[in-house]
Amino acid sequence: MPERNPCLKSGCPGFCCQDIDIEITKSERTRVFPTAIHVDSMKELAQIKKDNLQGLYYTEYSRKGLEGGDFYVIVINGPCPNRLSDGSCLKHDEREYAARNFAIGCSDCNVIRKENGLSPIFIEPVE
């Protein structure tokens, strides 16, 4: 499914799908990142991020006030293994909420674009 056409057309091959850490639910971890490696603590996860150990690592994370109880934080060092060579996502139809909620042209998108030498883009809302 050509889900990333606007991104590809803008010259971005999926820079938001590498070198990131995101909150995911336990079912997203199983469904989208089955090969991720479990570590015992946030401290260990932070060290892995700092050392830039390539791969996917996750640990438990509780955030009060959110339905569903416990979450994970996953660190993706290097490219996400679900990102295909054309920039699209192998798991597009079942991708995590964080990705569904990450819009092209949002402020975080433009920060990532600038970090990777691309100009920011601005999408006009459709009325």
Q: Which is it for strands 37-38 and 55-62: parallel, antiparallel or unpaired?
A: parallel
Amino acid residing at 36: A
Q: Based on the shown chain and the rule CB under 6 A, indicate whether residue 29 belongs to the binding site for ligand SF4.
A: no
Q: Based on the shown chain and the rule CB under 6 A, indicate whether residue 73 belongs to the binding site for ligand SF4.
A: no
Q: Residue 40: CB partners within 8 Å, gap ≥ 6?
A: 59
Decide whether 17 or 59 has the Cβ nearer to ligand SF4: 17
Which residue is it, tokens 């640990």?
A: 59
Q: Which of 9, 12, 52, 126 binds ligand SF4 (CB under 6 A)?
A: 12
Q: Based on the shown chain and the rule CB under 6 A, indicate whether residue 48 belongs to the binding site for ligand SF4.
A: no
* Binding segment (CB under 6 A) for ligand SF4, from list 36-44, 52-60, 63-71, 105-113: 105-113
Decide whether 46 or 118 has the Cβ nearer to ligand SF4: 118
CB of 19 to ligand SF4, least distance (A): 10
Amino acid residing at 92: H
Sheet bearing 55-62, strands edge to edge: 18-24, 70-79, 55-62, 37-38
